[in-house]
Chains A and B, each alone.
Chain A
Amino acid sequence: MDKKSKSTKRLQAAKEINRIVFEYYMECSQAKSQGIPVGWMPPMNGAIEIFYAMGLQPVFPENWSPVCAAFGLAPKNFEISENMGYSIDLCGYLRNIIGYVHGPIETSQCILGNLPVPDFLLSPGGGCIPVMKIFHALERRFPDAAVFRADLPQVALHDIQPHHIQYAVQEIQRLISFLEKTTGRKMDYDKLEEAVALSDKACALWDEIMSYRRYKPTPFSAAEIGIMFVMVTRQGTQIAVDFLEKVLDELKDRVARKQGVIPEEKIRLFWDNIPLWYNLGLFNYFEEMNGVVVAETYSTAWSIRLDAEDPIKALALKSLKSYPLVSCVSMENRMDSIIKACKEYSIDGVIFHRNKSCLPITLGQMDIKRRLEEQLQIPSIVIDADHMDERNFFPAQFRNRADAFMEMLLAKRKATS
C-alpha cells in the first residue's frame, strides 16, 4: 500500500465533476481580468449565496488544500510554513495554505492555475480555531485586502435560541453592507432569493442522493466524495443543481439495474472524519476485500434546508448549523446522526479516522465508538492518520489494523448468512 493513491471512480458524474472543478478554478483565475471582485472565505456558511447574488468571486482557501494534497503540492507548502515557524502539530490545512500564499501562489504550475489574490477577506470569528488563524495569517499576507471581521455564535444545534439567530442575522446584514461598500455593487435581493432557493434545491438533491446509498448494493461509495465539491463551491448556482440532478439520475439507473460499486458487496462501512485527501485510494482497499464505504460523516454538513422566503434568516441558520453538524460543537447531534446513518445504511462496521489535523471531529470518537457497540453491536476500528499530511499516515499500521477488522467482519457475515 502506498502513502498516496487515487481512488477508482465508477460514476459517470466523476468525469463531469472534474470539468466543474476545472471551470471553477479557471473562473477564479480569470475573475480579476473580468473586473470581478475576489473574496476569500471559509466554507460551510451563508456567505457563498451572497457572493453569487452580488456577482462576486468566492475563493475557498480551505478547499484549495485538498487540491494541493491531490496534486502533490502540499509537501512544498508544509516546508515553507514550517520554516516560517508554524509547528508541525498544527492543522495541515493551516500549514498548507499559509505555505502556499507565501510562495507557490505566484509560481506553482498547477493544472488548475493558482488562486487569485483577494480583494477582500471574510475573516471568521467562529468555526474552528485553525480556520480563524488561517484568516488572521491571510490578513497579514494580503494587507491591501479589505477585511470583514465576521462573528458567529458557536452553539449546539439543540441549543440555538432566538438571540443566536438574531445575532447571526445581524452579521449577514453587516456582511452585505460591507460588500456593497467595498465592491461598489448593490445587493439585488431578488437574486439573493434565487440563490437561496438554488441552495435549498441543491441541499434537497444532496439528501436524496445520499438516501440512495441505503440500497444494496450501494450505487456509489465514499470514493466518489469529490462530488461534494459543488456543495462547497457552487451552492446558490444552477451549476450545482444541474450536476446533482445528473448524479441523481445516474444513481436511480444504477439502483434499478442493481449495479453496485463492486461485483460482490459483502460488508458495508461508515467512515468518520475527513478522508485522506492524498490517499482517497484507501477507500478502494476495502473494496478488494468486498467491503464498501457506504456513508461518511462529512457529507452530513449539507443536510440542511433553506427557506427562500426569508433568505437572510435562511443564510443565518445555515451558518449556525453547518459546522456544528459535523463537529464536537454539537456532539449529541453528531452521535445521533452516525447512529441513524448506521441504521439507515445497514452498516456492518465503522472506521474512525483519528485525524491529527482535525481535533473538532476527532474528539468524542471514542464515545461514539462505545455507543455503537452498546446500542447497535456495530464494531469499529480507529485509524491514526491526517487528512492533509501524509507524514502522519503509516500504511503498514493501517493495513495491520484494517486487515484484522475486515477479516473479523467477513467472518461475522459468514456466520450470520
Chain B
Amino acid sequence: MMISNPIVGFQQAYETSSQILSRIHGQGQKLFGYFCTYTPVELLVACGYLPVRIMGGRGKAEQCYRLLPEFICPFMKRSLERAMNGEYHFLSGIVQSYSCDAVCGCQAVWKNNFPDMSLYSISLPYNSNPQAREFYIAEFKNFIEKLGQPYDPCFQEKLRQTNELYRHVRQAVLNLFDSAQSGFLDISAEEKWYAVQAGFVIPPGQYLELIHRMIQQKKEIPAGQKHSIPVIVSGSEIGHPDILTYVEKTGGRIVWDDHCTGIRSFEPAEGSGDDPMEQLADRYVKRSPCASRSRAEDRWLRWEKKLHHADVQGVIFVLQKFCTPHLSDIPYFKEQLKKRGIPAIVVEMEESWEVSGQIRTRIDGFLDMVQGKNG
C-alpha cells in the first residue's frame, strides 16, 4: 500500500514494526537485531540480512525483573521485556558492539534465555590511530566470517553497493534535519523522531524513498514558531517523543539534538578509503561520538560549533535513568554551558516515558527562566 504522507508512513512503520517485520520474515527475509548505532549495519545488509534496531520504546517492565536488577536503564529493561513477550521472535541473531556495560551484560542475559538466537559481539576500538583502524577492519572481517560470509570479491562488491546506499540514506536524513533547523521544513520534533525510528526497521532502500518524499514536501516554518526558544536536547535513546512534544508545546524549539534517536548516528554520511571495508571502518571511526565511547571533551567540540551557529539559549538533557555514560558526562557539560551563560536542565526518564507532572513543572520553569533571562 502506498502511503502518500511519509510522516504517516514512518509512524505506522514504527508502531506496527513487529507485525511488519514478522511478515517480512515470513516472506523468507532473514532479520538481524542490534542495540546500538555503532553497529556496522552495512555488513549485515551485505550479508543478506535486514538489520533491525532493538528498541525499548515505552511500556511496562515486569517480567524482565526476573532477570535484571532494578538499577539498569529503561532501554535495556524494555528491550528484554519485549523479547520475553515474543516480540523479537523473528530475529536470526543479535550483535552488540560494547555500547556500554548494560548492553554487554544484557546480551549475555539474552544469550542465556533465548538459546535459539545466535548472539555476536563486535569489539570496537576507542582510538582512531592507524592500528585502531586496522583492528576495526580485522574485527569486521571476523564478524562476517562468523556469519559464514568470506571476504571475497563478490562480497566486496555487495559491501561497496551497501556503503553507497547508506551514504544516500544518511545524507538524506542529514538534509532533512538541516532543512528543519534552517526553517525550510515545517516538521515537529515528534515527526523527526518517527522519521529516525522508522529507519531502524524499514529496509534502507524503501526508507530512502520515504525520506526523499518528505523533503520534497518543503514548507517554511511559520514566522511565529521562529520566535520560540532555541534549545538543544541531548541524551541516549529517547524511547518516546512525548517529552520532545512537551518541550515544543511549552515554547521550546529544538534546533539541534545530540541523542542516539536523533541525528547523531547519521554523521558523517560516509567514510573514505581504498576499498569498501576501509571506507566502512573510516566512517565508524569518524562518526559523531556517543558518551559511552568517548570523552566529554570530544563531544563538546561538536557542541561548540552548534552553539555558535544556532543561538542556543538552553539545553535539556533527557536521560535514561541509570545511564552511566551520559550521567558521567553531565557535570562537564553543565560546567562548559555555565561558562557560556547557557542554562541546562537534566530530566531522567523511566520505562513509561511518561512526562510526569514533576517533569512538566521543571520544564515549564526552565523555559520560563530562559525566556526571562533573554528578555
Residues of chain A whose beta carbon lies under 8 Å from any beta carbon of chain B: 84-87, 89-91, 94, 125-126, 128-130, 132-133, 136-137, 139-140, 149, 151, 153-156, 159, 161, 163-164, 166-167, 170-171, 174, 328-329, 331-332, 354, 356, 359-360, 362-367
- Whether A367 pairs with B327 at a CB distance below 8 angstroms is no
- Whether B125 pairs with A167 at a CB distance below 8 angstroms is yes
- Whether A89 pairs with B104 at a CB distance below 8 angstroms is no
Q: How far is the CA of A86 from the CA of B332 in the complex (A)?
A: 10
Determine how close the nearest CB of chain A comes to the CB of B107; give it in whole angstroms: 8
Contacts of B67 in A (CB 8 A): 366-367
- Whether A130 pairs with B104 at a CB distance below 8 angstroms is no
Enumerate B85-127 residues with CB–CB distance to A below 8 Å.
Answer: 98, 100-102, 104-106, 108-109, 111-113, 121, 123, 125-127
Sorted from nearest, which 10 A-B pairs have the closest CB atoms? A125-B126, A363-B105, A331-B108, A328-B105, A85-B331, A163-B138, A133-B328, A367-B112, A153-B123, A167-B135
B184-211 near A? 1/0 per residue, CB < 8 Å? 0000000000000000000000000000
| A163/B324 contact (C-beta < 8 A), A359-B105, A360-B105, A364-B105 known | no
Determine how close the nearest CB of chain A comes to the CB of B196; give it in whole angstroms: 24
- Whether A161 pairs with B126 at a CB distance below 8 angstroms is no
- Whether A89 pairs with B68 at a CB distance below 8 angstroms is no
- Whether A85 pairs with B328 at a CB distance below 8 angstroms is no
- Whether A130 pairs with B324 at a CB distance below 8 angstroms is yes
| A354/B69 contact (C-beta < 8 A), A84-B331, A85-B330 known | yes
Residue from B71, B106, B138 having most chain A Cβ neighbours under 10 A: B71
Determine how close the nearest CB of chain B comes to the CB of A333; give it in whole angstroms: 11
- Whether B123 pairs with A164 at a CB distance below 8 angstroms is yes
Q: How far is the CA of A86 from the CA of B333 in the complex (A)?
A: 12
Residue from B111, B134, B138, B331 having most chain A Cβ neighbours under 10 A: B331
- 9 A-B Cβ contacts within 8 A? A86-B330, A125-B125, A129-B100, A129-B324, A130-B328, A133-B329, A159-B121, A329-B104, A363-B108
| A170/B142 contact (C-beta < 8 A), A362-B69, A363-B109 known | no
- Whether B328 pairs with A367 at a CB distance below 8 angstroms is no
- Whether B324 pairs with A149 at a CB distance below 8 angstroms is no
Out of B109, B139, B292, B330, which one reaches A367, CB within 8 Å? B109
| A161/B142 contact (C-beta < 8 A), A153-B123, A331-B108, A364-B105 known | yes
- Whether A149 pairs with B121 at a CB distance below 8 angstroms is no
Determine how close the nearest CB of chain B comes to the CB of A273; give it in whole angstroms: 11
B158-189 near A? 1/0 per residue, CB < 8 Å? 00000000000000000000000000000000
Residues of chain B whose beta carbon lies under 8 Å from any beta carbon of chain A: 66-69, 71-72, 98, 100-102, 104-106, 108-109, 111-113, 121, 123, 125-127, 131-132, 134-135, 138-139, 142, 292, 295-297, 321-322, 324-325, 327-332, 334
Contacts of A171 in B (CB 8 A): 131
- Whether A363 pairs with B131 at a CB distance below 8 angstroms is no
Contacts of A331 in B (CB 8 A): 105, 108, 111-112
- Whether B101 pairs with A359 at a CB distance below 8 angstroms is yes
Nearest CB in chain B to that of A139: its residue: B295
- Whether A140 pairs with B327 at a CB distance below 8 angstroms is no
Contacts of A86 in B (CB 8 A): 327-328, 330-331
Contacts of B330 in A (CB 8 A): 85-87
- Whether B127 pairs with A151 at a CB distance below 8 angstroms is yes
- Whether A151 pairs with B139 at a CB distance below 8 angstroms is no
Out of B104, B125, B131, which one reaches A360, CB within 8 Å? B104
Determine how close the nearest CB of chain A comes to the CB of B303; give it in whole angstroms: 16
Contacts of B121 in A (CB 8 A): 154-156, 159
Residue from B98, B102, B123 having most chain A Cβ neighbours under 10 A: B123
Determine how close the nearest CB of chain A comes to the CB of B129; give it in whole angstroms: 8
Q: How far is the CA of A153 from the CA of B69 in the complex (A)?
A: 26
Nearest CB in chain A to that of B72: its residue: A359
Determine how close the nearest CB of chain B comes to the CB of A81; give it in whole angstroms: 8
Contacts of B331 in A (CB 8 A): 84-86
Q: How far is the CA of A149 from the CA of B111 in the complex (A)?
A: 32
- Whether A363 pairs with B68 at a CB distance below 8 angstroms is yes
- Whether B106 pairs with A151 at a CB distance below 8 angstroms is no
Nearest CB in chain B to that of A83: its residue: B331
Contacts of B112 in A (CB 8 A): 331, 364, 367
Known contacts A130-B101, A331-B105; 9 additional CB pairs below 8 A are A90-B327, A136-B296, A139-B295, A151-B132, A331-B112, A360-B101, A366-B66, A366-B68, A367-B109
Determine how close the nearest CB of chain A comes to the CB of B1; give it in whole angstroms: 42
Out of A90, A163, A354, A364, which one reaches B108, CB within 8 Å? A364
| A167/B131 contact (C-beta < 8 A), A133-B328, A367-B67 known | yes
Determine how close the nearest CB of chain B comes to the CB of A127; give it in whole angstroms: 9
Contacts of B105 in A (CB 8 A): 328, 331, 359-360, 362-364
Nearest CB in chain B to that of A335: its residue: B112
Contacts of B72 in A (CB 8 A): 359, 363
Out of A139, A149, A156, A363, which one reaches B127, CB within 8 Å? A149
Q: How far is the CA of A161 from the CA of B146 in the complex (A)?
A: 12
Out of A85, A149, A156, which one reaches B126, CB within 8 Å? A149
Q: How far is the CA of A62 from the CA of B296 in the complex (A)?
A: 21
Q: How far is the CA of A161 from the CA of B334 in the complex (A)?
A: 41
Q: How far is the CA of A153 from the CA of B108 in the complex (A)?
A: 17
Contacts of A84 in B (CB 8 A): 331
- Whether B98 pairs with A154 at a CB distance below 8 angstroms is yes
Determine how close the nearest CB of chain B comes to the CB of A101; give it in whole angstroms: 13
- Whether A89 pairs with B327 at a CB distance below 8 angstroms is yes
- Whether B127 pairs with A170 at a CB distance below 8 angstroms is no
Nearest CB in chain A to that of B71: its residue: A356
Out of B101, B139, B322, which one reaches A163, CB within 8 Å? B139
Q: How far is the CA of A149 from the CA of B295 in the complex (A)?
A: 11
| A89/B101 contact (C-beta < 8 A), A129-B292, A163-B138, A363-B109 known | no
Determine how close the nearest CB of chain A comes to the CB of B170; give it in whole angstroms: 25
Contacts of A166 in B (CB 8 A): 138
- Whether B325 pairs with A133 at a CB distance below 8 angstroms is yes
Nearest CB in chain B to that of A358: its residue: B101
Residue from A87, A94, A128, A329 having most chain B Cβ neighbours under 10 A: A87
- Whether B328 pairs with A151 at a CB distance below 8 angstroms is no
| A154/B132 contact (C-beta < 8 A), A89-B321, A133-B325, A367-B67 known | no
Residue from B67, B292, B334 having most chain A Cβ neighbours under 10 A: B67
Q: How far is the CA of A166 from the CA of B111 in the complex (A)?
A: 28
Contacts of A89 in B (CB 8 A): 71, 321-322, 327
Contacts of A90 in B (CB 8 A): 324, 327-328
Contacts of B98 in A (CB 8 A): 154
Contacts of B327 in A (CB 8 A): 86-87, 89-90
Nearest CB in chain A to that of B296: its residue: A136
